[in-house]
Amino acid sequence: MWKPSDLVNEYRRFRQNPKPFAIAVILILTAAVVVAWTTAEKSEANCTAKVYRQDRGPSCGVDAYASKASEHCGVEEYRSGAAEVCGVAEYNECETGGCGWIKLGGHVNIGKVKAHSCRHPNCGIARFNVCKHESFGVATYKTCAAPAHGVVQYKSCRHQDFGFEKCADPKIWEFERP
């Protein structure tokens, strides 16, 4: 433990011989200069190992594309329409030999009579069924993220496009000796 008398004795010793103190001050100042010189930032031109700023941008690559419905995602639903691809809904009515017989009397069977007109494939098509088919066009597209929709976010990296940050050159104490 230090006592006030010890401090007084140290001061008297220093007054008698100031050389050790002066040498200590010179060594401390020299060390400070060496450390400041070796850690000082160099300009970009003097660097052999450059470190660039970190940021997001096209130089880093794409992290996420915009998401929306488009032809790049595929078809979700086609438009509806009536055409041959949907099948026949009803034939025309005409007089033909292929109409068959008509039952007389309803529930009570009185007899049969040859039908004069009927709906038959030989008479032609009156109308087609309604359906959804690619020949009618696209109603809606699926939703997805695709390059054609644009970029939402880029990846993060260090690149010269973002500017110079500092030198990563090895310090004096890091060099290997020959």
pLDDT digits (tens, 9 = 90+) for 102-138: 676 667 667 666 667 778 788 888 999 999 999 999 9
pTM for this entry = 0.50
Grade residue 163 by pLDDT with cuts at 50, 70 and 90.
confident
Q: What is the pLDDT averaged over residues 62-91?
A: 93
What is the model's pLDDT at position 52? Answer: 86
Q: Which residues are within 8 A (CB) of 99 and not within 5 positions of it... i.e. 6 or more apart?
A: 114, 115, 116, 117, 118, 120
DSSP character at residue 57: S
pLDDT at 174 over 70: no
Break the chain down into helix, strand, coil percent, rounded to 5.
35, 35, 30
Round the average pLDDT of the chain to a whole number and report it: 79
8 A C-beta contact, residue 55 and residue 162: yes
The number of angstroms, rounded, from the C-alpha of 62 to the middle of its chain's C-alpha atoms is: 6
pLDDT the model gives residue 97: 64
